Amino acid sequence: MKVLPGTPGVTPMFKPCREAPPWRPVYCLLKTKEVVLMKKAILLFVGILLIGLIVRFADTNEILRHLENISLGQIIFLCALQLITIFLNSVQLFTLANLFDLPVALRKIFTVYMSGTFVESVTPSVKAGGEATKIYLLTKELDIPLGESSALVALQKTISFLAFLSINVFTMTWFILRLGAEVDQSRLLMGTFGLLLLIFVGILSLIFWPKKEYGFLEKLPLNEKRRDKLVGALINFEKNFRKILARKKAMVFQFLLALFIWSFFALKAYLVVVFLGISLSFIEIAVVTYLTYMVGMLPLLPGGLGSFEGSMVFFVAPLGVGVSSGITLAIVLRFVTFWFVFLVSALYLLGKVLLEGKPFHGIMNLDSLYKRRKNPGKDKR
């Protein structure tokens, strides 16, 4: 087992640490499995602490009174809607896999999606950790070539992100027209939307103008062998992505499906408002929900913990909702869309591990997947 020099028993996650140049020791130490797990645990704790601080500044007794308005049956119904959302996301990934002519079972795709969901719940990276997990499992467990699995996951993410940004164009417009561009909420929205738009444009540039990325890769401190592997994977990714993007009718259907999936978030939020007896219309809570999710997407804390709850209270305040009511709304909605999902995905994966005896590769080494390019026999479907 390869260990870091001077760090007994600590195993590097990434192979670049093996031939580490002088500037790499700190990087390698930060990428060990033990340190990565510790960082995730700390960030999760910080997120929970922020939620506690938000609740601390409100009237706890009033929050408890609000929570008494919602029954266990209503919570179960909301959780059932969340399970439908999870299933629809899995179906979308499955139908996209069919467009790639990949004969994979929906059951296996569901497992891949649940694995990605679990990882993205503990990584503050705009769900990038979950997407990397999906690519890893599609390639390692389902024997899908790396280029195709990368294109498949990137395509679903791009469609979902485009649908989400489209929705937020309308929600931001409504919010700013309602409250004005001078209020703090509007400034935060415009800044967040601009940042997410830059991220999306960066993703599109990676897909449609990959030659610019080739020049960037040339400047990275990588050896020639590793750089060639990255360039080869990028070329394969672009080819597969463009092939599917050319099927316009299928892409329109996938975009509409993404909009339908996102509509479930507004529906769940509105039902929470109704159950709690908070005076907000469907359009008001829908706007607040999407804008809150937009802020929560910033890569600050795992799953947007703390930032989501704070943003929810921040955005409902100008609409006449008190702090305690806003916090209660955020707590219930967050339980359904985050904690319940985290618990279900964790239990699902634990069950898979116990039944099949296979470890869960939550912290993956994507670099090892490039070895498959040396042995085409492993790239079977």
Residue 185 inside a domain? The answer is yes
**What is the per-residue pLDDT for 261?**
95
Residue 8 inside a domain? The answer is no
Cβ–Cβ under 8 Å, residues 259 and 272? no
Model confidence pLDDT, tens digit, residues 253-296: 999 999 999 999 999 999 999 999 998 899 989 988 888 887 77
Helices in 318-365 by DSSP H: which ranges?
323-334, 340-356
Residue 225 inside a domain? The answer is yes
**Banded pLDDT at 3 (limits 50, 70, 90):** very low
pLDDT above 80 for 360 = no
Beta strands in the chain (DSSP E): none
Apex 73 CA angle, 68 and 74, nearest 5: 70
Exposed, middle or buried by CB within 10 Å (0-12, 13-18, 19+), for 330? buried
- The residue segments making up the domain with residue 190 are 18-378
pLDDT above 60 for 301 = no
Exposed, middle or buried by CB within 10 Å (0-12, 13-18, 19+), for 47? buried
Model confidence pLDDT, tens digit, residues 219-238: 666 666 766 766 666 777 77
pLDDT above 90 for 332 = yes
> Which amino acid would we find at residue 80?
A
- Number of structural domains in the chain: 1
Residue 51 neighbours by CB distance under 10 Å: 19
Cα–Cα dist 86/81, whole Å: 9
Cβ–Cβ under 8 Å, residues 229 and 367? no
Model confidence pLDDT, tens digit, residues 23-79: 444 444 444 545 545 555 555 555 555 555 555 666 678 888 888 889 999 999 999
What is the pTM (predicted TM-score) of this model? 0.72
Residue 9 inside a domain? The answer is no
The more confidently predicted of residues 277 and 176 is: 277
